[in-house]
Chains A and B, each alone.
Chain A
Amino acid sequence: MVHFTAEEKAAVVSLWARVNVELVGGEVLGRLLVVYPWTQRFFDSFGNLSSESAIMGNPKVKAHGKKVLTSFGNAVKHMDDLKDTFAKLSELHCDKLHVDPENFKLLGNVLVCVLAHHFGKEFTPQVQAAYQKVVAGVANALAHKYH
């Protein structure tokens, strides 16, 4: 289980309060599909993913990105209880969506890059480290129910 210090929790929560979940969600999911094109395999029904601009402007990508990042926001509220918080989603990703858990790590790292991009100087090594713990915790929690 991931253990967060009081400082790490405070850093994560205070930065997250300023994240525009809709905007950042679309950005994160879009970049995942651009930087790691094989991840597009899960989104055949999303329409035009043929170029960087098509992907970043795709309304379904934006909508789904918002959904994913809202879920991440839930993680920020339950940093001490990620496995239980993501148990149902873990089952869903394994049994229905058939997503290789490796993808959770890729998404987590893209999120960290996007946060660095948006917050610049504030995204200090310490804040980054706290977020690396969160994304690793979420990735593990999402993989936990796989069988």
Chain B
Amino acid sequence: MVLSAADRAAVRALWKKLGSNVGIYATEALERTFVSFPTTKTYFPHFDLRPGSAQVKAHGNKVADALTLAVAHLDDLPGALSALSDLHAHELRVDPVNFKFLGHCLLVTLARHYPGDFGPAMHASLDKFLSHVISALASSYG
């Protein structure tokens, strides 16, 4: 599974459109993840996880920044995300199955907010992009 030129162009174009709202959508994706996949909350016992939580919002912004970094380095995702991979593997020790839950909720969030853009081809490109990000994030494990 490779990110084709078309996939990259699609993801870059959508990210440009999201502009400064990436943080809002990443936060919503996190909220959706906590509600739909409650086991993910076990990584955040120190957070207020109620809707509107400032901590979740701050974390959403962190996730957004990482995704924006990924979009800027589509040619070398493992390299760009290696520090984050180390963090998640060795310090946070997050089971990688959880990355898929967040990735799915990101797709749901984007489908909900950008229906005109979320055609089957964009859905496929985004899914592939997120799979590559997840792969890069999991690369330091084990």
Cβ–Cβ contact B120 & A56, under 8 A: yes
Cβ–Cβ contact B112 & A117, under 8 A: yes
In the complex, what's the smallest C-beta–C-beta distance from A117 to chain B, in angstroms?
4
Cβ–Cβ contact A34 & B123, under 8 A: yes
Tell me the number of A-to-B contacts counted with CB atoms below 8 Å: 59
The docked-state distance in angstroms from the alpha carbon of A132 to that of B108 is: 11
In the complex, what's the smallest C-beta–C-beta distance from A44 to chain B, in angstroms?
20
Known: A31-B120, A34-B120, A52-B121. A132 touches B111 (CB 8 A): no
Residue B86 CB within 8 A of the other chain: no
Interface pairs (6), CB distance under 8 Å: A34-B123, A117-B111, A117-B112, A120-B112, A125-B36, A129-B35
Task: Count residues of chain A with CB under 8 A from any CB of chain B.
Answer: 23
Residue A30 CB within 8 A of the other chain: yes
The docked-state distance in angstroms from the alpha carbon of A118 to that of B36 is: 19
Residue B115 CB within 8 A of the other chain: yes
Q: Give the 9 A-B residue pairs with the shortest CB-CB distance, closest first.
A: A117-B111, A116-B111, A125-B35, A129-B36, A132-B36, A116-B112, A34-B120, A35-B124, A116-B108
Known: A34-B120, A56-B120. A112 touches B108 (CB 8 A): yes
Cβ–Cβ contact B123 & A35, under 8 A: yes
A interface vs B, CB < 8 Å?
Answer: 30-31, 34-35, 52, 55-56, 109, 112-114, 116-121, 123, 125-126, 128-129, 132
Contact with A along B100-129 (1 / 0, CB 8 A): 000011011101110100101101100100
Known pairs A34-B124, A113-B107, A116-B111. 4 more at Cβ < 8 A?
A56-B120, A113-B104, A113-B108, A120-B112
Cβ–Cβ contact B36 & A128, under 8 A: yes
Report, as a range, how many residues of chain B touch the other chain: 20 to 34
Look across to chain A and name the residue whose beta carbon is closest to the beta carbon of B125: A35
Residues of B within 8 A of A56 (CB): 120
Look across to chain B and name the residue whose beta carbon is closest to the beta carbon of A126: B35
Of A113, A119, A128, the residue contacting B123 (CB under 8 A) is: A113
Residues of A within 8 A of B28 (CB): 125
In the complex, what's the smallest C-beta–C-beta distance from A128 to chain B, in angstroms?
6
The docked-state distance in angstroms from the alpha carbon of A43 to that of B99 is: 30
